[in-house]
Structure 1
Amino acid sequence: MQRIYDAILQSHLTAYQEMLFLSGPRQVGKTTVSKHIKKLSEHFTYLNWDNEDHRKILLEGPSTIAQYAHCDVLTNTKPIIVFDEIHKRPEWKNFLKGFYDSYGQDTRILVTGSARLNVYKQGGDSLMGRYFPYRMHPLSVAECVRTELLPSEIAEPSPINEIDFQALLEFGGFPKPFIQRDPQFSVRWKNLRKQQLIQEDIRDINVIHDLNRLQILMDLLKQQAAKQITYSTLSKLIRVSIDTITRWIEVLEAFYYCYRIRPWSHNIARSLIKEPKVFLWDWSLVEDIGARAENFIGTQLLKAAQYWTDRGFGEYDLFYIRTLEKKEIDFLMSRNGKAWFLVEVKLSNNQHISPHLSEFQKQSGAKHAFQVVVDMPYVDQNCFLNEKPTIVPAKTFLSQLV
């Protein structure tokens, strides 16, 4: 399956000397796309820390690896080396710094990991200036209709097959369950992924010892998806401190189980300031269909924000709006610190446009305000040509992102 990240890797490794750090959830497709770049070089080397034979080579040191990867051979193309899960190696940052400083001119280096690479804090020396980070996401509506790189943020709309759209909503954007489209396979895949996340990934960093209570927290976060987190309530339910709940959620974020978005308060009268909302990277885990729809849209907005930032278009971030009077807008996308567009999610197009869109568009100064409807048929019109609050199909709106 072709992914937009194939084009990202090819573009970076062709144009830049800096290492490419590709992080993202387990089984999102990092290993697959990293092996696709084999065609770019006569000498391609893939080394995975979790492979015992590869681990022996990785422990030998830079000169042995360079020889193994043919860094000392004159070729028409620079050798490419992929270090997969290298962040589990002791002093991995010092190792990469030493290897890059010695052989970076002669090779192209890709580093991949199923955790945010700053979670593993072994080693000391900074890698600042030696790499560019890219964050890999599950499949989205836009990636189902286009995989080429665009010169700017917003694309022209493209229709997605209705069967693909419904499969995304039901099975999520992780490649295997999306392609398989089998409910029994999907349940087994999710259970195995959860087990691997807890028993392998999180246990590896040895910061959470009560894994049973962590699983309870994960199940509670599924029920709270697209809602505000109340740390004190979670603390009482699980019987651990609020600080522990906060730390555990940070670990779950680091391993791409969930993410939080915070309220946008700039120029919003009587806005909430601190309380975040929580969402899951795999929206198919969310049972409530309304919450799943909001999570479905939110995760694709997060993908767009992080992709645009990683590509160097600017600084993008995702927020929501809620006031003390409980007026709310589901999402606000910021660009370079300023409100850019608002999104209110609706499952069906049986409601008038939310009056809060107009109110908060005026207060925030956002250029666009959309009421995005999940079950509305595709319309072949550019949503971003409208500056007044507009009801738009999710199929159209999402196809214009990433």
Structure 2
Amino acid sequence: MKRYLEKHIQEDLKQKIVLLSGPRQVGKTVLSMQLTPSNVYLNYDSTSDRRIIHAEEWARDVQLVIFDELHKMKKWKSWIKGVYDTEGNSPSLLVTGSARLDTYKKGGESLAGRFFPYRLHPLTVKEICKHLNEKSEIALDKLIKLGGFPEPYLKNSETFAKRWRRTHTDTIVREDLLDLERVRDIKSIEILIDLLRTRVGSTTSYTSLANDLQVSIHTVKHWLQILENLYIIFPVRPYHKNIARSLLKESKYYLYDTGAVEGNIGARLKNIVTCSLLRELHFIEDTTGSKTALHYLRDKEKHEVDFLPVINNRPVKMIEVKVSDDRFSPSLLRFQNFLNDTAPVQIVYNLKRKKSKGLASMQPVHEFLRDMRLMDGH
């Protein structure tokens, strides 16, 4: 299927190296191969491909060379920089990899001025409606049951999705994790993932997790960062105009794979909305260079609003998610007084009719996700 990043990557490949990262099995390789039929695909995990890469003997009479898992190569950034500086972008160069690519690009040799990064996300209602022509209500219900990773979603079988998920998580933990970090206690990290699956959308108590796992708070924070680097989880932090203060407050963690969330429909629904918002914000950031962030709102009296997307330090929407409550959230209306330039919206799964109250609006979740627009032109 066509993916939402295709035309943007095709344009950027004409002038820069493109680094495409994202969760394992989110569709990076398929997307890469779809960009042009005139390509060479080289996977660093393959012995024969690895020889070709080291010898720099790939065919040059193609439009695109795809290097998958290249970050496993020692000093890969220096190497790809040398190729680009020597040969330019004819053929174009695309480097793909799981979250480790994002992690490895933070230090060491710089690729500054030579690349554009993209992050590919699982399927959302918006993308499904546009490229698979499914109705938004059906797409949302399938995402709740199957999650947004392309293979289980397209198979449309809950049994297949469960079997796929088992091997998917095991591969990440047993292979990707060991490639990225020297971690001895794999079993405890698996238990941590299981604990997070049951606590989606709840404020994270590092002390509680440390007690459950019988490790230090420092270790828990380190493990959470590893899982974030591997695109298993992502944090949503409380909003504060002083960014440093927001980083110190308790985060809420969500999963990239909604199908792995354990709990009621409310937990999965909130996870779907979070993933959709993060996908939209990353898309804006990767295609426009704008600075984006996803927060939640909470005051000292513990009034809360689920989500506050922020673009270039400006909050753009306040979003409260409900399964069936068609009364406006008092917290949503309360925070409207403090962020009066930010549109409040309550989105409801089982909603009989739309409502509005002043600047606040209420609409079905599936419609909000289908029509989501956080920035003009996106």
Structure 1: state its 5+ residue gaps: 149-157
Q: What is the deviation of 1:377?
A: 6.7
Aligned partner letter, 1:31: T
Q: Which residue number in structure 2 is paired with residue 171 of structure 1?
A: 146
1:241 aligns with 2:216: yes
Match of 1:393 among 356, 364, 370: 364
Aligned partner letter, 1:225: V
Q: What is the deviation of 1:300?
A: 0.4
1:320 aligns with 2:296: yes
Matches within 5 A, 1:365-380: 365-376=340-351
Q: What is the deviation of 1:343?
A: 0.3
1:192 aligns with 2:167: yes
Q: Deviations over 1:296-332 (max 9, x none)?
A: 1111001111111111062221100112211000000
8 Å CA contact 2:16, 2:89 repeated in 1? no
Q: What is the deviation of 1:378?
A: 9.3
Q: Which residue number in structure 2 is paired with residue 69 of structure 1?
A: 59
1:95 aligns with 2:79: yes
Structural RMSD (CA): 2.5
Structure 2: state its 5+ residue gaps: 374-378
Match of 2:196 among 221, 224, 233: 221
8 Å CA contact 1:93, 1:123 repeated in 2? no
8 Å CA contact 1:48, 1:83 repeated in 2? yes
For 2:155 and 2:353, the matched residues in 1 are separated by 25
Q: What is the deviation of 1:105?
A: 4.0
1:191/1:283 Cα in 2 relative to 1: closer, same or farther (>3 Å)? same
Secondary structure at the aligned position of 1:369 is classed as strand
8 Å CA contact 1:271, 1:321 repeated in 2? no
Aligned partner letter, 1:83: F
Q: Which residue number in structure 2 is paired with residue 27 of structure 1?
A: 25
8 Å CA contact 2:233, 2:255 repeated in 1? yes
- Percent identity, aligned pairs only, is 37
Aligned partner letter, 1:132: F
8 Å CA contact 2:145, 2:158 repeated in 1? no
Match of 1:284 among 259, 265, 281: 259
Aligned partner letter, 1:87: H
1:258/1:343 Cα in 2 relative to 1: closer, same or farther (>3 Å)? same
Detail structure 1 runs of 4+ shifted over 6 Å in the superposition: none
Q: What is the deviation of 1:91?
A: 0.9
Aligned partner letter, 1:109: L
8 Å CA contact 1:172, 1:284 repeated in 2? yes
1:101/1:53 Cα in 2 relative to 1: closer, same or farther (>3 Å)? same
For 1:168 and 1:387, the matched residues in 2 are separated by 32
Q: Which residue number in structure 1 is paired with residue 376 of structure 2?
A: none
For 2:63 and 2:193, the matched residues in 1 are separated by 42
Q: Deviations over 1:236-277 (max 9, x none)?
A: 11011111110111110111110001100239xx99961111
For 1:20 and 1:377, the matched residues in 2 are separated by 45
Q: Which residue number in structure 2 is paired with residue 17 of structure 1?
A: 15
Q: Which residue number in structure 1 is paired with residue 64 of structure 2?
A: 80
Q: Which residue number in structure 2 is paired with residue 48 of structure 1?
A: 43
1:5 aligns with 2:2: no
1:299 aligns with 2:275: yes
Aligned partner letter, 1:397: F
For 2:353 and 2:289, the matched residues in 1 are separated by 28
Secondary structure at the aligned position of 1:364 is classed as coil
Count of residue pairs brought into register by the alignment: 370
8 Å CA contact 1:23, 1:114 repeated in 2? yes
Secondary structure at the aligned position of 1:375 is classed as coil
1:339 aligns with 2:339: no
8 Å CA contact 1:256, 1:281 repeated in 2? yes
1:262 aligns with 2:237: yes
8 Å CA contact 1:328, 1:356 repeated in 2? yes
Secondary structure at the aligned position of 1:209 is classed as coil
Q: Deviations over 1:140-173 (max 9, x none)?
A: 010012259xxxxxxxxx9825333211121011
Match of 1:37 among 10, 35, 38: 35
For 1:363 and 1:167, the matched residues in 2 are separated by 37
Q: If the length of structure 2 is used for normalisation, what is the TM-score?
A: 0.91
Q: If the length of structure 1 is used for normalisation, what is the TM-score?
A: 0.86
Secondary structure at the aligned position of 2:5 is classed as helix
For 2:104 and 2:7, the matched residues in 1 are separated by 28
Q: Which residue number in structure 2 is paired with residue 114 of structure 1?
A: 98
1:378/1:17 Cα in 2 relative to 1: closer, same or farther (>3 Å)? farther
1:210 aligns with 2:185: yes
For 2:20 and 2:353, the matched residues in 1 are separated by 33
Aligned partner letter, 2:369: L
1:248/1:366 Cα in 2 relative to 1: closer, same or farther (>3 Å)? farther
Q: What is the deviation of 1:364?
A: 2.4
8 Å CA contact 2:42, 2:53 repeated in 1? yes
Q: Deviations over 1:103-142 (max 9, x none)?
A: 1242211111111424237983211111011110000010
